[in-house]
Amino acid sequence: MSMYLEIPEFESEFRFRTFLNDGLTIVYPHVHKEIEIIYAKRGTVNIGVDDTIIELREGDLYLFASGQPHYFLASPESERYVYQFDLKLFEESLLRESETSLLMLFEEGEPHSREWPDSFTHKITGLLTELYQLEEENVQGKRYLMMGLLYQIIGECYQSLPKRQKVHGTLKRSAAQYKETLQRLNQVFEYIESHYQDVLTMEETARYVGFSPHYFTRFFKTNTGKTFMQFLTEYRINQAKFILANQKIPMAEVAEKAGFASVKTFHHVFKETVGQSPLQYQKQLNVNG
């Protein structure tokens, strides 16, 4: 199964988003480091997890751990709420005592709510519903309220999320191997997030995570479906899109902030990737907005 690495486009540094998809929205196989929860709000939602098709009935929840390959099939007359959040939102070093890490909490947890206690499912469904409603509102202290709900979800998962029973493709590796892979990938992603505005090379990143360039090249392509430079370019393009949508600054400054060496390179890569120039993209946003 071929797949691609998704970089969720959060609207700000507050790395949480929720949205509603109808059953005609097909999502191709992909992975991302963010945790994702699906709530089948209406009808039957068909999802692919690795190479297995799973049917979510109305009211079902499904939890994707960091790095879990998944996709969505056409599911007519259905709706699903999607929740994605980065674990860096949480002050884990401050709050965690003897508990397992957040990464492994979701990795080892049972993903399908049909295997959860009814009381736990009811609590999580209520919190997710509140989160979605809050996202649609414009209220003072909105992000504090959202973080409160997210922390409640984490706390409830520590209390009541059952251990995973069924092992899927990526998880067939030993727990130790899989944990190490996720930790290494997260190291790479965080390094890119911190240095994408610099002159960043594959060799430098490989050294940072303790790999030889040859091994790192193979490791990264195997686990993301992209070369390092493809991923870095896509990341920079997404940063540029965000800047173009939210700031009225010269294109040379957009290029610099997004990590491109020159405005000429930025213009060429953006047009080749997006299909239109940065200026055309920005004008289209203004028209649609």
pTM above 0.85, yes or no: no
Spatial separation of the C-alpha atoms in residues 173 and 184, rounded to whole Å: 15
Look up tokens 């919190």; give the residue: 127
Indicate the pLDDT class of residue 148, thresholds 50, 70 and 90.
Answer: very high
Q: What is the pLDDT of residue 175?
A: 47
The pLDDT score that the predictor gives to residue 73 is: 79
CB 108 within 8 Å of CB 175:
yes
Report, in angstroms and rounded to the nearest whole number, the Rg of the chain calculated over CA atoms. 20
If you average pLDDT over every residue of the chain, what do you get?
Answer: 86
Which comes out higher in pLDDT, residue 172 or 278?
A: 278
pLDDT for residue 234: 83
117-126, 130-139, 148-157, 215-224: which range is least confident on average?
Answer: 215-224
Lowest mean pLDDT among 150-154, 185-189, 271-275: 185-189
Spatial strand order of the sheet with 52-56 comes to 4-5, 27-31, 70-72, 45-49, 52-56
Residue 209: C-alpha distances to residues 178, 181, 193, 202, 212 (Å): 16, 11, 14, 11, 9
pLDDT over 60 (residue 231): yes
Write down the pLDDT at residue 1. Answer: 35
Report angle CA 153, 30, 85 to the nearest 5 degrees.
Answer: 25
Look at strands 27-31 and 4-5 and give their pairing: parallel
Q: What is the mean pLDDT of residues 112-139?
A: 96
Tell whether the model's pLDDT for residue 225 goes beyond 60.
yes
Q: What is the pLDDT of residues 175-190, one digit of tens each?
A: 456 557 767 877 888 8
Least confident of 45-49, 172-176, 190-194, 268-272: 172-176
